[in-house]
């Protein structure tokens, strides 16, 4: 465990003086936060593409398959032409990418969409965003990372904010016990990306970790695909461009940014910062689709932003 902590570049090493080292560390932390927040905003744009793909006839499960396999195809093609070094990994380390790609990315999606079938969408969203709680607690157990008061305050604010944004307090929350268990499973598996990712980042740079994550997640997600549904949807004009935007802008790029940021900060901090996603999604709905902004939603967005500000 200690070896992993030493290998991950959490700060600028190589500064000549303590003052230079502190400045470098602060600069790296700021860049890491910016990368993670940018990833959260791009994930928050998923609704733009999902609504168009659903209108074309794709089911949520089909969208997941298109998203993960499309992300894999784009990343693999780009780096096959640009830098093939990302494909060089040791066989003994493939377990980490099975963890990020199949255990995390694929299983959290399966649990999340199964939860949506048994509970309200608001309940599923809130249960998914229990992920930062897991990411704060697991590193404390695995690597003895301190659970600071600042981190707990930020966690509380972001969880409350997500609950407001997802409509928990509006009275329309519907849950079942199997649905709650699946929802908690989605949060747990979602959180494991930061945990498995940290193990992988002890041996490889962020781009290699991202590419190999989708080399596992892409094929695993094909079990969700229905060929007839896919053929009918992609016969419609514009569907290919929407799918490309989903795979490039809201899948491949944000995972690259998040993994890059994860390599330079604590997993708990990274996961809390990524909780900006539902706030970004709410604002996307308001700006792109004219959805109403009530006081609870606005309060939720402010809570999330306050939590992010605390960890800046």
pLDDT of residue 26: 58
74 belongs to a structural domain = yes
Beta carbons within 10 angstroms of residue 142's beta carbon? 15
pLDDT of residue 297: 82
Q: Angle 253-262/18-44 helices, nearest 10 degrees?
A: 150
24 belongs to a structural domain = no
7 belongs to a structural domain = no
Per-residue pLDDT of the chain (312 residues), as tens digits, is 444 444 444 333 333 344 334 434 557 888 999 999 999 999 989 888 988 998 999 988 899 999 999 999 999 999 999 999 999 999 999 999 999 999 999 999 889 888 877 876 666 777 888 888 898 888 888 888 888 898 899 999 988 888 888 777 766 556 688 888 888 899 999 999 999 999 999 999 999 999 999 999 999 999 988 999 999 999 998 999 999 999 999 999 999 999 999 999 989 899 999 989 888 888 888 888 887 788 888 888 899 889 888 876
Report the sign of the C-alpha dihedral through residues 55, 61, 64, 68, in that order.
negative
Which residue range forms the structural domain that includes residue 70? 30-310
What residues have CB less than 8 Å from 294, skipping those under 6 apart? none
pLDDT of residue 129: 81
Q: Measured between alpha carbons, how far is 125 from 274 in angstroms, rounded to an integer? A: 14
Q: Measured between alpha carbons, how far is 11 from 85 in angstroms, rounded to an integer? A: 24
Closest Cα to residue 29, out of 263, 264, 256, 309?
264
Closest Cα to residue 300, out of 170, 169, 168, 162?
162
Q: Measured between alpha carbons, how far is 92 from 152 in angstroms, rounded to an integer? A: 36
Closest Cα to residue 132, out of 48, 188, 202, 71?
188
Domain tally, the chain? 1
pLDDT of residue 145: 82
157 belongs to a structural domain = yes
pLDDT of residue 248: 97
9 belongs to a structural domain = no
Q: Measured between alpha carbons, how far is 196 from 296 in angstroms, rounded to an integer? A: 35
Q: Measured between alpha carbons, how far is 259 from 240 in angstroms, rounded to an integer? A: 27
Buried b (16+ CB within 10 A) or exposed e, 182-193: bbbbbbbbbbbb
246 belongs to a structural domain = yes
211 belongs to a structural domain = yes
Q: Measured between alpha carbons, how far is 51 from 67 in angstroms, rounded to an integer? A: 14
pLDDT of residue 20: 38
280 belongs to a structural domain = yes
């Amino acid at each position: 465990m200690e070896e992993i902590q030493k290998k991950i570049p959490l700060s600028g090493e190589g500064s000549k003086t303590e003052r230079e080292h502190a400045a470098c560390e602060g600069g790296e932390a700021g860049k890491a936060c910016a990368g993670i927040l940018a990833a959260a905003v791009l994930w928050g744009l998923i609704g733009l593409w999902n609504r168009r793909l659903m209108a074309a006839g794709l089911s949520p499960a089909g969208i997941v398959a298109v998203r993960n396999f499309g992300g894999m195809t784009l990343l693999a093609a780009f780096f096959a032409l640009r830098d093939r070094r990302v494909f060089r990994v040791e066989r003994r380390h493939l377990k980490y990418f099975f963890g990020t790609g199949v255990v995390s990315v694929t299983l959290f999606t399966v649990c999340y969409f199964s939860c949506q079938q048994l509970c309200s969408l608001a309940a599923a969203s809130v249960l998914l965003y229990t992920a930062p709680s897991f990411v704060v607690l697991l590193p404390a157990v695995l690597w003895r990372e301190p659970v600071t008061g600042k981190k707990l305050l930020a966690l509380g604010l972001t969880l409350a904010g997500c609950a407001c944004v997802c409509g928990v307090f509006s009275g329309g929350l519907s849950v079942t016990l199997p649905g709650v268990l699946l929802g908690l499973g989605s949060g747990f598996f979602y959180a494991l990306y930061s945990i498995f990712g940290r193990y992988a980042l002890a041996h490889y740079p962020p781009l290699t970790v991202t590419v190999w994550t989708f080399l596992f997640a892409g094929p695993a997600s094909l079990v969700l695909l229905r060929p007839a549904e896919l053929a009918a949807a992609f016969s419609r004009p514009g569907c290919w461009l929407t799918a490309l935007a989903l795979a490039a802008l809201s899948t491949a790029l944000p995972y690259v940014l998040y993994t890059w940021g994860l390599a330079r900060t604590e997993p708990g901090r990274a996961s809390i910062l990524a909780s900006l996603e539902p706030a970004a999604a709410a604002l996307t709905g308001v700006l792109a689709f004219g959805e109403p902004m009530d006081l609870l939603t606005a309060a939720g967005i402010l809570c999330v932003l306050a939590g992010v500000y605390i960890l800046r």
